[in-house]
Structure 1
Amino acid sequence: MDGMRVHLIADGREEATGAMGGPPLLPAEGAIYLTTYRLIFKGTPTDPLVGEQVVTRSFPIASLTKEKRISVNLPMDQFFQEVLQLRSCTFQLMKIGFDEEVASDLAEVFRKHMHKLRYPQHVQGMFAFTVGQSAKLVVEHKTKDKNQSLK
């Protein structure tokens, strides 16, 4: 799924500081990507004093344990229609607020697609099975085409 503009909100567990007690890296603005295996946030801090540092957070989709919509109290210049809190069993917690450019129906599509990848209908829908299976299908398809052309 293409990246969607989001803001990563400070989760409140601790003051998110950079290396060696530097300035806080959260909140950050950037994009969230949904692959067949991982949920990835990549962006930059909103604090202008931090500079050009890159903030990256990710966790495997299979480790997602809880997802819920929340409301947050932020400064007056920021307003998010939709805020999701994603908790993982790998001790990751992401609070993502979708940018006002992202329509609420796109945020809902993102959430549904995430659940579709998290809970596939068949075991073949799991990441490890889909990767191996896609290569086999391409090889079988090519061999069938070659046999038909010989006739």
Structure 2
Amino acid sequence: TYAETKFIEAEAEFLVANSGSFQATGANAAAYEAYLEGIRANMDKLGVSQADRDAYLSDPNVAVGTANLTMELIMKEKYKALFLNPETFNDLRRYNFDDTIFRGLELPEDHNSVLNGQWIQRAVYPSSEFSRNEDQVRQAEKAIDQPMWFYN
């Protein structure tokens, strides 16, 4: 969606402005404008009234200014826009389930005991893949606790 694109842009601009640090505070105007436009686009898509949208966008918890933008704010709004979209899981993994970015994130109570208290990193290949492409699946298959990429 257009909103998702703007949040990806906000995230990228934020990282560029902060030399790759996702723990920084503050960014550039491009990151901040993309963050606000992502919120605006999502609310427009959902049919939120202009008055309610503008009130939300001017709330001091949202309209923090360029100097106070954080990855936590970008990801929080991106999550709202992409709720139930599997891309949110990619964001969680990319930032290693960091609870300073994803405030309040906790392992579920009935978490898979095989993972020993760690977050799941990848899905298991569906059984249909083994019947159609077993050799390739066996080469690519890894445990569910092995990260798909390295972290900062």
TM interval, short-chain normalised = under 0.3
Larger Rg: 1
Larger helix proportion, structure 1 or 2?
2
Q: What TM-score results when the alignment is normalised by the length of structure 1?
A: 0.24
Larger strand proportion, structure 1 or 2?
1
